[in-house]
Structure 1
Amino acid sequence: MLSLVPSAFAAQQNSYHDPAEHWQEALNRTNELDANSVVTVETFDCCICDKATAFEVFRVPEYTRNGETALTRNVKYSDGTCLDGKSKGDLLDGTPGQDAYYTGYHWTKAVCEVCGTINSNMGATSYACNKNVYWLYDCAADFFETLPESKTIEQADRNFHRVITTSGEYCAFCYGTYKEESSTLERHHMETAIRPELAHDRFVEMSTCADCGYAETAYTAAKSVVADYFGVVDGQPHTVTVSDLSEAGVTTAIRYGHTADGCTLTSAPNYTEAGDYAVYYEITYTYKNTDMVEDGVAYVHLRDESTEETEGDGTCGEDHNWTLLDSVNPTCLTLGYDRYLCVDCGKIEKRDYEAALGHAFQSVVIRDATCEAPG
């Protein structure tokens, strides 16, 4: 052999790869070794050409079910032939990555590029000469390279992920690889983003581990209800009512106004006289330095019950000349009715009552229930 350093080309994969992780199966033993070989061109003495010629050399790691080379059983050739070139032995071969392990040896064969003879570099008296078989060769320690350290990260649970470090060494000729793995548990490195969802009355807190991608989502309710006021004139000021239903951590700031674009008041305007008044509002919800704003309008309805019904001047007796004065629509809590006026004597009375509507509640999903938290 005149050259020890291979010049790789047209192999299964020219750059380093672990053949056990890319193993291709074939119909017979020789074809399978061919399909998984690292192919190089090297110079050897050809016993047929009787001179040094270029050889196409095939090398593939030996894998056995017990991790020991077949040479320990005197088997040297890929067809099971032993060192004596006559008897047969057990290769104990299997499928790498499943039930077979790298032995520290590799299978090799060479083809003269001048005469085409297989294994003519082994000498004319060798069993392998002019046979399409591989023979075993030691992966010498001098030809091993350090495997670059790599890390993979897997999710373990809601608090930790597992960091798996892979290192080792590989044969520079056949790429047979010895790997070592170690693993440690590390806490998640959570990065948090807040997304406001006004349509769902909530903030969404999304936390993701920057290393392994583990993610958690939490929901925080953000809702204030500004309710209409229905009442009667009694000399006291009246306004809308506010109920803050937000969860802990949410701060609420409300501004009021007489127009939709003029919400500058820190308290809601009050009313004492009969009428229907629009109270515009702007609510700013803040959660962990993230804001969202809700706009709306509520109403103050005040009625003067002192003029709701009158007896008139009595000139009509029971023969009144009625006309519809106005109508009051029912609300969630109060009856609706019509008021009629006698145009002759001035008497006013209520008729045509309609039942109160009752509340029409709508459900809003703030947070879906989980195994650990209620919805």
Structure 2
Amino acid sequence: MPRFLHTADWQIGRQYDRFGPEDGPALTQARLTTVERIAALGAELAVDAVLVAGDIFDAQTISDRTVRRLFMALQAFNGPWIMLPGNHDAALAESIWTRARRLNAVPDNVHLLLTPEVSLFAEQGFAVLPAPLTQRHTFNDLTEWFDHASTPPELLRIGIAHGSVQGILAEDIDSPNPIDPQRAERARLDYLALGDWHGCRQISNRIWYSGTPEQDRFKSNGAGQLMDVRIDAPGAEPQVTPIAIGEFPWLQWQRRLSVASDLDALIEELDSIERSSVINLTLEGELDLAGEQRLQTALGRAQAQHRVLEYHLAELRLIPTDEDIAALQADGYLGEVVNQLRDLQQADDHDTAREALGILSSLLRERHAGGTPA
């Protein structure tokens, strides 16, 4: 029974500048360490091959060092690595693939499918029909030639392509690099391994997108996995098992705080995340000053626990209670300032007023804790 791993969209060399100099490079490195885990998994499962359906690299211009590091990351699995160019790393006349070969960086067990022709892996029990991109975008279906390609009848017919299955995915990506949704049937394929869509998605029993193995967007689309594929014999239905492989989950939350129990639930939710993650959190509603202090403590703790925590508080109003103001000993002029900032949160510049109120209340608490009169 031939068995292989199907993965795609590694996009090695991708930069995450939005996350700053501490977290951005760590996310870039995570894409390489995930490849190392794929290699280790391939060796552990003793698969016959690893198929990578395009966008191995994020751009044609990444450094020679990164090119070498990628191929070094494959070392744990010494079986065939079958790699297809995608739109980010298309097989141009002069490309990252020609550069990798000049660098002598490509190991002997890595098979670069740079031309649309059948590759036989008789020892492993299958033939591969590739549809490499030789330019970033095309409006023709590059898998069409599969229909008429001849392969030995005893071998599985495995297609590998990078593009958008027509009429299935979102309309905004359904024009470049089109793929016929009936291609597996028309070309008598036992399996069609696809890349380009960054989430894990089954198109039919024989057509799958593996998605990127290292999540890179705030979407709940099954990213962070690869496919473990087993096929008994030509014509048999594939047995496909998604396997989680990514390092950092990306979580996007929007929560409303209206009563004290809402804050309790949010803090418990943050504390219960077991894996270091990339979190984008938006809060709205209202909070008293005591709750604000608890929230800031929880956010600080979460920032230390996770790779990235972005939070947005513009729609979260601070509403000091009478007890809050009394505890701050904000009488006289300071009391008037607190009340003015509370009221200004209703205006257009509510975010600034909210921040100022938070800073003022924090300073007042610090002064009282240190015994300094307000």
Bin the TM-score by the shorter chain.
under 0.3
**TM-score (structure 2 length as normaliser):** 0.24
Judging by fraction of residues, say which structure has more helix.
2
Larger radius of gyration: 1
TM-score w.r.t. structure 1 length? 0.24
Which structure has more RCO (C-alpha within 8 Å, separation ≥ 6)?
2
- Larger fraction in strand: 1
